[in-house]
């Protein structure tokens, strides 16, 4: 690393997911403050990440550093080459503090437990003043999470969401929800018909050159998953993130809610310009890296709703706002109220290995093939692909939630533990016993058939349960329900399922369970 003898009073660390240009740190130029942004092996390897994910984080960090420099701040950007000699973040900060003779170390509170612990410990170890502050990103300040969430308690999204709408005056009129209802979810369960496919807009994609970063990742021997070309479609700076947000509001929001749960395998992933991301915003990377703030996203979407003369109806805008001020803030609360114990929860005692085809999409199950292939290609899948395709499969087959967490944490462009884990371990795997969601999201092939066109092109038969080519999800579903009857039959949202199952003749039940066992025994070959 280049040696410098410049002295500063304060060293301020900016983590890769803290690219918030509106933070109060940057409201004044302080010549005696050095901002440090560093590519770190510890961050690129704590789990095996998608190639695009590492590259996009590094590219966005570099862009942020350039923007801060252009605004007059003192910034030190360190590449993997510069930081390779340090064992980890604490060693780097100790070295820089001494080198620049700083008397104070500042950091924004990390959103991941792992990093918060590491920096808290570093703060104690350093012989200079160490100060942590809020990242000023979320609606709910960090120190208020405890007022809304309690460890182990089964919180419900709907209650929290209403409180957030009222408190932050979002889509409210005279203290009542705009449109007369809090939640229009029942209007948002449409399937895309063949005629709808032609209308899906081409996504707004960027062509950011990441070739130099990819070479650096390679040079440092960082193991990755997924595919990447020299250009990446994700936004890497504020300008691009704002363009994507505006594009979403003008082009996708009118049908966002309507087709939010839909899936299609008809749009080839080989042609990036067709509508593979449907009406979704793809702003999760920009949000989670803090390039965009949730308030900016919500305010922009609501302004588009008001300006739209009815093309964006209330169920579209409400559905979108609920994801941001509802689900996103909710899972963060659950995470912080329950960590570190949450990371060990395994309520259904699941222990199976994740099949190897999760890393190459080589499965004949068309729904899984498509969701995984898309994830490998773009480091992206939308919510229902994550919850009801890959997540549902892992739930039904009893995959160890540690392995499920690692896969999701690695593969998705937006995956940071605070948001990934409650969604994966909690909502999709029910490993938290219902802290995040009120039921296990278990489904047979019928759900996939209802919400997608995958089944028509599948080698398995979605309407069959125990025949040769029967859709594996059907018998696996009943096997799951049978195996976890004690838990599921006592849950008001799943107990009615047993009305059907218990009425079946014993030999029919056994045939289905045998079929499920066959699929479990041959899980690698599905």
* Interacting residues toward ligand SF4 by CB under 6 A: 365-367, 445, 448-449, 454-455, 458, 460, 462, 471, 473
E strand or H helix that includes residue 442: none
How many helices (H) and strands (E) the chain has is answered by: 25, 9
Q: How far is the CB of 365 from ligand SF4 (least distance, A)?
A: 4
Distance between CA atoms of residues 302 and 298, nearest Å: 6
Residue 454: name its binding partner from ligand SF4, ligand FAD, none (Cβ under 5 to 8 Å by kind). Answer: ligand SF4
Q: Is 437 helix (H, G, I), strand (E, B) or coil?
A: coil
Q: How far is the CB of 112 from ligand FAD (least distance, A)?
A: 11
Q: How far is the CB of 411 from ligand FAD (least distance, A)?
A: 9
> Maximum Cα–Cα distance for the chain, whole Å?
81
Residue 366: name its binding partner from ligand FAD, ligand SF4, none (Cβ under 5 to 8 Å by kind). Answer: ligand SF4
Q: 157, 62, 203, 140: which is closest to 436 by C-alpha?
A: 157
Cβ nearer to ligand FAD, comparing 321 with 470 = 321
Residue 445: name its binding partner from ligand FAD, ligand SF4, none (Cβ under 5 to 8 Å by kind). Answer: ligand SF4
Residues whose CB falls within 8 Å of the CB of residue 438, separated by 6 or more in sequence, listed in order: 154, 156, 491, 493
Cβ nearer to ligand SF4, comparing 368 with 436 = 368
Residue 473: name its binding partner from ligand SF4, ligand FAD, none (Cβ under 5 to 8 Å by kind). Answer: ligand SF4
E strand or H helix that includes residue 271: none
Helices (H), 185-328: 194-197, 211-219, 238-247, 253-256, 284-288, 294-307, 314-321
Q: How far is the CB of 265 from ligand FAD (least distance, A)?
A: 17
336 close to 417: Cβ distance less than 8 angstroms: no
Cβ nearer to ligand FAD, comparing 75 with 409 = 409
Residue 455: name its binding partner from ligand FAD, ligand SF4, none (Cβ under 5 to 8 Å by kind). Answer: ligand SF4
Window contacting ligand FAD (CB under 6 A); options: 80-88, 177-185, 264-272, 417-425: 417-425
Cβ nearer to ligand FAD, comparing 99 with 267 = 267
CA distances from 398 to 385, 401, 440, 526 (A): 18, 8, 12, 15
43 close to 80: Cβ distance less than 8 angstroms: no
426 close to 152: Cβ distance less than 8 angstroms: no
Cβ nearer to ligand FAD, comparing 123 with 257 = 257
Q: 310, 330, 504: which is closest to 419 by C-alpha?
A: 330
Helix then strand then coil, % of the chain, to nearest 5:
50, 10, 40
Window contacting ligand FAD (CB under 6 A); options: 31-39, 89-97, 282-290, 337-345: 282-290
Q: How far is the CB of 60 from ligand SF4 (least distance, A)?
A: 35
Q: Which positions from 387 to 416 touch ligand FAD by CB under 6 A, shown as an x/- string?
A: x---x----------------x---x-xx-
Preceding peptide of 340 cis, ω within 30°:
yes
What is the size of the binding site for ligand FAD (CB under 6 A)?
27
Q: For 486, how many CA atoms within 13 A lie in the half-sphere containing its CB?
A: 4
**Residue 423 interacts with ligand FAD (CB under 6 A)?**
yes
Q: How far is the CB of 498 from ligand FAD (least distance, A)?
A: 25
Q: Which positions from 323 to 362 touch ligand FAD by CB under 6 A, shown as an x/- string?
A: xx--xx--x-------------------------------
Q: 487, 142, 53: which is closest to 335 by C-alpha?
A: 142
Cβ nearer to ligand SF4, comparing 54 with 458 = 458
Residues that bind ligand FAD (CB under 6 A): 280-284, 287-288, 323-324, 327-328, 331, 382-383, 386-387, 391, 408, 412, 414-415, 419-420, 423-424, 427-428
């Amino acid at each position: 690393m280049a040696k410098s003898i410049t002295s500063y009073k304060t060293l301020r660390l900016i983590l890769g997911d803290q690219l918030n240009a509106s933070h109060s740190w940057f409201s004044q130029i302080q010549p005696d403050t050095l901002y440090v942004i560093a590519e770190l092996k510890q961050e690129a390897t704590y789990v095996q990440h998608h190639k695009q994910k590492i590259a996009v984080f590094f590219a966005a960090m570099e862009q942020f550093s350039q923007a801060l420099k252009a605004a007059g701040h003192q910034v030190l950007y360190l590449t993997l080459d510069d930081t390779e000699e340090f064992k980890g973040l604490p060693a780097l900060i100790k070295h820089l503090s001494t080198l620049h003779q700083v008397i104070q170390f500042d950091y924004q509170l990390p959103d991941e437990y792992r990093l918060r612990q590491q920096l808290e410990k570093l703060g104690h170890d350093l012989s200079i003043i160490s100060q942590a502050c809020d990242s000023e990103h979320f609606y709910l300040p960090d120190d208020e999470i405890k007022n809304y969430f309690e460890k182990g308690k089964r919180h419900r999204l709907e209650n929290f969401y209403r409180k957030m709408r009222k408190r932050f005056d979002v889509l409210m009129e005279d203290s009542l929800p705009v449109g007369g209802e809090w939640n229009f979810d029942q209007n948002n369960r449409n399937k895309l018909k063949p005629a709808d496919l032609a209308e899906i807009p081409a996504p707004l994609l960027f062509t950011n050159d990441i070739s130099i970063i990819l070479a650096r990742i390679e040079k440092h021997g960082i193991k990755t998953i997924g595919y990447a070309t020299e250009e990446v479609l994700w936004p890497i700076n504020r300008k691009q993130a704002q363009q994507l947000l505006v594009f979403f509001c003008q082009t996708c929001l009118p049908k966002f809610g309507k087709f939010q749960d839909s899936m299609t395998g008809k749009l080839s992933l080989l042609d990036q310009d067709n509508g593979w991301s449907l009406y979704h915003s793809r702003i999760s990377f920009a949000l989670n890296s803090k390039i965009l703030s949730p308030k900016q996203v919500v305010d922009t979407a609501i302004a588009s709703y008001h300006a739209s003369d009815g093309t964006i109806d209330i169920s579209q805008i409400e559905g979108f706002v609920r994801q941001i001020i509802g689900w996103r803030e909710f899972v963060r609360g659950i995470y912080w109220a329950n960590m570190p114990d949450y990371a060990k929860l395994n309520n259904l005692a699941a222990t199976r290995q994740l099949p190897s085809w999760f890393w190459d999409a080589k499965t004949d199950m068309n729904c899984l093939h498509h969701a995984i292939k898309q994830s490998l290609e773009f480091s992206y899948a939308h919510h229902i692909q994550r919850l009801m395709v890959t997540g549902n499969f892992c739930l039904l087959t009893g995959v160890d939630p540690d392995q499920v967490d690692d896969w999701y944490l690695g593969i998705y462009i937006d995956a940071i533990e605070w948001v990934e884990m409650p969604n994966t371990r909690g909502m999709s795997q029910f490993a938290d016993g219902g802290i995040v969601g009120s039921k296990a999201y278990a489904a047979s092939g019928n759900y996939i058939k209802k919400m997608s066109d995958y089944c028509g092109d599948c080698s398995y038969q979605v309407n069959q349960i125990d025949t040769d080519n029967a859709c594996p999800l059907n018998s696996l579903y009943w096997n799951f329900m049978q195996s976890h009857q004690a838990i599921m039959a006592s849950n008001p949202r799943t107990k009615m399922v047993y009305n059907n199952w218990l009425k079946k003749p014993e030999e029919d039940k056994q045939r289905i369970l045998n079929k499920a066992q066959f699929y479990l025994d041959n899980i690698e070959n599905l």
